[in-house]
Chains A and B, each alone.
Chain A
């Protein structure tokens, strides 16, 4: 088991990443908090020895996505994410940002994580494939398809 100091360092370092991934999948704050706590508890109890920071970050991403998907397997949970429920203070989001974020959240589940990992975290398709355990070609296809869908939703002229 990891010590408290190590865990506090990980919370400071990866809390935002975990939070953002939760936003992509979960529709309410209660679920987000559940997953947030579950992920860090897994980290506390995990005996995985990380080679470096990148390895550790990839572990957090993978564990968070898997935890979110497990939660969503419940029959009673809806798969769509509304912006007002996904973020704590939707009123603080700029109108322009709101439109883009709503477009991302409206993407099918399998496209949301690749969009986040590629556009925000800056991972390449092979890296995403490794983190998510997917074939690289699948990741390329999903990235291309998600770009196309976002263009359709937001208009080609503005985001070419």
Chain B
């Protein structure tokens, strides 16, 4: 193969890249790399993306914390609403009427656990005074049906068992929207629906001005259900709706507390 080796070398030596081909390739590379600056652009864009990611992580964390996932509406006469995040922390407190606004501003419950916040509201002088006067307190949990709302409802129901005249409702966001449209807190909205169902001629404005005790008395008067309330017991947090359940917590004849369903 010696002759072949030499011949192949001579042949391949004769095959060369033409200058025109090299020149076209140089032009192609300049064009493709935008004059050999593409790398800087890529690095710049990487920096921009890194900054966006960092910003996203920072804002995303805040967004996760400050995004409300459930609302707890507490109504007696002062009405107050708590926005709760996915970590069960109260991220916003809003008074739903003048008394509620006064109460909200007097309490430092933001960022506390929702159960602690509810306890402090119930134990506040105004609310405790009203409860002792046999006023009715409703606690509505508003949010999507899921683990968190179920857990909040369960906790509130079991804790409310030690208090008199407390109602606990669960409402989904659509029902809450309807209540807001009427300008009523959810507990009063529920009472309004019950009254309408019982044939009462009453406007949302009138309902807004009444206390929960007055509303509950009117419902009981129209439905004659006082007797029933005192004879049935139950537990848990009821699902709201036109014909839905509502759980009442009150002392029974034996002096013990129990939850009753209407």
Contacts and interface: CB of A to CB of B under 8 A. Distances in A.
B144 to A, nearest CB: 49
A73 interface: no
Interface stretch (B1-9, B88-96, B227-235): B1-9
A120 interface: yes
Contact of A120 (B8, B16, B28): B8
Interface in B23-81: 24-26, 28-30, 32-33, 36, 38-39, 42
A150 B1 CA distance: 9
A1 interface: yes
A52 interface: no
Interface in A22-54: 23, 32-33, 36-37, 40-41, 44-45
Interface residues of B, number: 31
B4 A37 contact: no
Contacts of A3: 36
A32 B4 CA distance: 26
B4 A33 contact: no
B25 A40 contact: yes
Contact of A93 (B4, B14, B25): B14
The bracket for how many chain A residues form the interface is 35 or more
A12 B16 CA distance: 11
A36 B17 contact: yes
A100 B28 contact: no
Interface of chain B: mostly helix, strand, loop or mixed: helix
B25 A36 contact: yes
Nearest to A104: B8
B5 A19 contact: no
Residue of B13, B25, B36 ringed by the most chain A CB atoms within 10 A: B25
A119 B4 contact: yes
Given A41-B32, A97-B11, A100-B11, A16 B17 contact: yes
A101 B14 CA distance: 11
A33 B36 CA distance: 20
Nearest to A32: B21
A18 interface: yes
B15 interface: yes
Given A41-B28, A154-B4, A15 B17 contact: yes
A16 B15 contact: yes
A20 B39 CA distance: 30
A87 interface: yes
Contacts of A7: 26, 29, 36
Given A1-B39, A16-B15, A119-B9, A160 B29 contact: no
Interface in A78-121: 87-88, 92-93, 96-97, 100-101, 104, 115-116, 119-120
Interface in A131-160: 147, 150-151, 154, 158-160
B29 A115 contact: no
A41 B33 CA distance: 9
A20 B15 contact: yes
Contacts of A32: 21
Nearest to A150: B4
A93 B30 CA distance: 34
A8 interface: yes
14 contacts: A1-B42, A3-B36, A19-B17, A40-B25, A40-B29, A44-B36, A45-B33, A88-B18, A100-B11, A104-B8, A119-B4, A120-B12, A150-B1, A160-B1
Given A41-B28, A151-B1, 10 more contacts: A1-B42, A15-B17, A36-B17, A36-B25, A44-B36, A97-B7, A97-B14, A104-B8, A147-B1, A150-B4
